[in-house]
Chains A and B, each alone.
Chain A
């Protein structure tokens, strides 16, 4: 029952998010807005209900699975990708590497500058 209640709540937030995004005409996906709203709710409430935690852990523990159907969509674009495989492969690969390296370094350096070494102590992994 906990899982069911949790899933229902997540769907309600997604639904409210989707409706709000459409009403306001903002270019943000409904689930992202739903996430922000759920975050604010948890913040105001001061704790996570067990039902939401159960559902969230269940969904997030196999997040990769959820991308598989979209990945299979690759087969519908084989010819297009084959036509311009070189710019696609190089731009995608290099840009992803550059983005990841730059972002990680900026985050590390700004944390040192702005927050200090206190933020860099050994993290406790749950």
Chain B
């Protein structure tokens, strides 16, 4: 990059959101093509491959995350309207939802308590610091809720955001195989489990399986956001009283 012309172009690009936005879309496009090439193998989850490509590229060019996010934020922003949009598939499953409201409520409450309780407890027995335990506690909730809770109970909100994404990817990658092993065939049960454990990334994966699984996953994600916000701070106090760190 000794050529002054090229350098000027680079200075312009690194200061504008254009590059960050474009590489996000290009990386995802490539990752998605790879995913289709592998016959939709969950291990080739497009989030994993595109994140890996982008981190590699940013490290290689010495670009900071903040500079990248100038452009990335436009994609990130769409998470809001996409969450609202989940009302549509949910409404399409309304008759089934009405039939299943009791099992859904019970599974959701169990799932939320298990998700938070097990992550705190496991982090503790494997020697994680208090900050790590608290940053992990809300990991199964959707990012904005998880960050708010993390802050409230003594975790690091920005670390929680990353752990939330890793959790979602883990759930999306392992989900279908796990359900096969434990012989759960119902798309409603699979959807609820996916949404409770792996929020929006799990929901994205669920929609690739079927519309019904996607809709129930979206429902579980939304309701467990409520439940996590209400239950987790209380659960943390309870755990402190029972098994002091």
Which label, helix, strand, loop or mixed, suits the secondary structure of the B interface?
helix
Contacts of B156 in A (CB 8 A): 80
Q: How many residues of B contact A (CB 8 A)?
A: 116
* Closest chain B CB from A79 CB (angstroms): 11
Partner of A74, one of B51, B69, B123: B51
A99 near B132: Cβ-Cβ < 8 Å: no
Whether the pair B184, A108 counts as a contact (CB closer than 8 A) is yes
Is there contact, CB below 8 Å, between A92 and B103?
no
A29 contacts which of B92, B136, B142, B178 (Cβ < 8 Å)? Answer: B142
In the complex, per-residue mask of A41-84: 1 if CB is within 8 Å of any chain B CB, else 0: 01100001000110111011111111111111111110011001
Contact A100 B203 (CB under 8 A): no
The contact size tier of chain A is 35 or more
Q: Is A56 a contact partner of B198 (Cβ separation < 8 A)?
A: no
What is A's interface to B at a CB cutoff of 8 Å? 7, 10-11, 13-14, 17, 27-32, 34-36, 38-39, 42-43, 48, 52-53, 55-57, 59-77, 80-81, 84, 86-88, 90-108, 110-111, 113-115, 119-120, 123, 125-126
- Would you list 16 pairs from A and B whose C-beta atoms are within 8 A, ordered by A residue? A36-B87, A48-B91, A56-B87, A60-B82, A60-B207, A65-B75, A66-B200, A75-B58, A98-B118, A99-B115, A100-B196, A103-B193, A106-B111, A107-B192, A126-B210, A126-B211
